[in-house]
Structure 1
Amino acid sequence: MTTEQTDEQLWAAVVRGDGVAFATVFDRHGDRVWRHVWRMMQHRQDAEDVVSATFAEAWRKRSSVRIVDDSLLPWLLVTATNCARNASRGKRRLERLIAHIPRADDAPDAADVVGDRSEADAAKTAVTEALRALPQADASLIALVMLEEMPLADAARALGIGYGAAKTRIHRARGRMRAHLEAAGVAPTLEEVS
């Protein structure tokens, strides 16, 4: 396998079970997927877990992976967004469970710990929460277009929707995110915090 092969050629080999081709795909796109996940997860271990889950899904679903303009990256980014959302839901469930465990009187209050975050962390957290509040398809579209700077037409193809529908969805999703950020008391643009 050479790195000169296209994603489509490599993926055809992966579908046949070629691990070397799969490793080449990982080498080609792993860093980009990691950066994308890092923006959503904000913790190194969580990001690494989600990247692993993303590539595990790619291997598991290798015969049904959608290639867009000879690139696996859109499919990987959408899958990474979905895996990140699943991981975040699991983390929130665990946090709710832990919150119900009795604690010692001298343990720090969670509100005090959260209050120590910097403004930048608060803004990133608000953007992450705003992204999580969107329907899955809208969050994937926002992630591809605004965070990964993918052209809207390419993102629409990656998600299997028409360009006009994508244009409408992204306009509405930006409005919902803006309202969520304003309600959270955060006023930066999405570009400033992505």
Structure 2
Amino acid sequence: MIDEPDDGPLWARAQRDDGAAFAELFDRHRPRIHRRATSLLADAHDAEDVTAAVFYELWRKRRSVVLVAGSVAPWLLVTTVSVARNSRRATMRYRRLLADLPRGDDHTAAVDAEDLEVRDRLRATVRSLSPTDAALLVLTGVEDVPVWQAAEAVGLKPSAARVRLHRLRRRLRADLHDLAPSVRTTPEGSPS
């Protein structure tokens, strides 16, 4: 969130039902929110739907949303994580329904199995986190939001957020330890 323009003046106008100000905020933050939704979901169409839902929620809750460090982005990012989780649950229910239907020919796309495993395991790990922990991870680890801003966005004290992030990093290392690139060694046994 470095060098972001102050959303305060636009947000004040949007809170007074100024659609043009809200549209400007939408244009300012939509690319980032869409990227985040895309990273959390497997389907580009679902990411579009989540992005739209997040901005709908922002408009709907405009009178109660509080800016963090002069920006609406932290609220949007936390909401993106939550809406994406709900979307994944709905998608899983739909896929289970489809799996129970009779099938025709199986048309599978060729996908690099290793990349697919890495993505699937990382997504599974992130999905297993609490909404607060997932939001902290996305805000600090992916979006480079300072810990104090991320903490404020999810309703924690900075010290509590740092403890949670420490535990998250430890958990991710344990869950994904076998996905780390291996260090090649020379015949003498030293790293190359």
Q: Could you tell me which residue of structure 1 aligns to residue 67 of structure 2?
A: 67
Paired residue type of 1:26? F
What is the distance in 2 between the residues matched to 1:68 and 1:78?
12
* 1:25 CA drift (Å): 0.2
**1:179, distance to aligned residue in structure 2 (A):** 2.9
1:87 aligns with 2:84: no
Q: What is the aligned partner in structure 1 of residue 76 from structure 2? A: 76
Give the number of aligned pairs: 176
Normalised TM-score (structure 1)? 0.84
Report the CA distance between 1:86 and its aligned residue. 0.7
Matching residue of 2:165: 170
Paired with 1:65 and 1:159, the residues of 2 have a C-alpha distance of 12
Q: Which amino acid aligns with 1:133?
A: S
Identity %: 41
1:177 Cα shift? Answer: 2.6
Question: What TM-score does the superposition give when structure 2 sets the normalisation length?
Answer: 0.84
Q: CA deviation at 1:122?
A: 2.8
Coordinate RMSD, CA, aligned: 1.8
Map of 1:34-53 to 2, 5 A cutoff?
34-53=34-53
Contact 1:37 1:80 in 2 (8 A): yes
How far apart are the structure 1 equivalents of 2:140 and 2:126? 13
Residue identity matched to 2:146:
P
Q: Which residue of the partner structure matches residue 108 of structure 1?
A: 106
Larger helix proportion, structure 1 or 2? 1
SS across alignment from 1:64: coil
Are 1:117 and 2:117 counterparts? no
Tell whether 2:180 aligns with 1:187: yes
Give the Cα–Cα distance (whole angstroms) in 2 for the partners of residues 46 and 180 of structure 1: 27
Q: Is structure 2 residue 118 aligned with structure 1 residue 137?
A: no
Partner of 1:15: 15
Measure, in 2, the Cα distance between the counterparts of 1:177 and 1:85.
Answer: 19
Residue 161 of structure 1, CA deviation: 0.4
Q: Deviation of residue 51 (structure 1)?
A: 0.5
| Cα distance change, pair 174–52 in 1 and its aligned pair in 2 (3 A) | same
Query: Could you tell me how far 1:34 is from its partner in structure 2?
Result: 1.1
Structure 1 CA distance for aligned equivalents of residues 131 and 70 of structure 2: 24
DSSP-derived class of the 2:176 partner: helix
Opposite residue 140 of structure 1, the aligned amino acid is A
Partner of 2:188: none
Provide the rounded CA distance (Å) in 2 between the counterparts of 1:50 and 1:121: 23
Q: Which runs of 5+ in 1 are unaligned?
A: 189-194
Please say which structure displays the higher CA radius of gyration: 2
What are structure 2's unaligned runs of at least 5 residues? 182-192
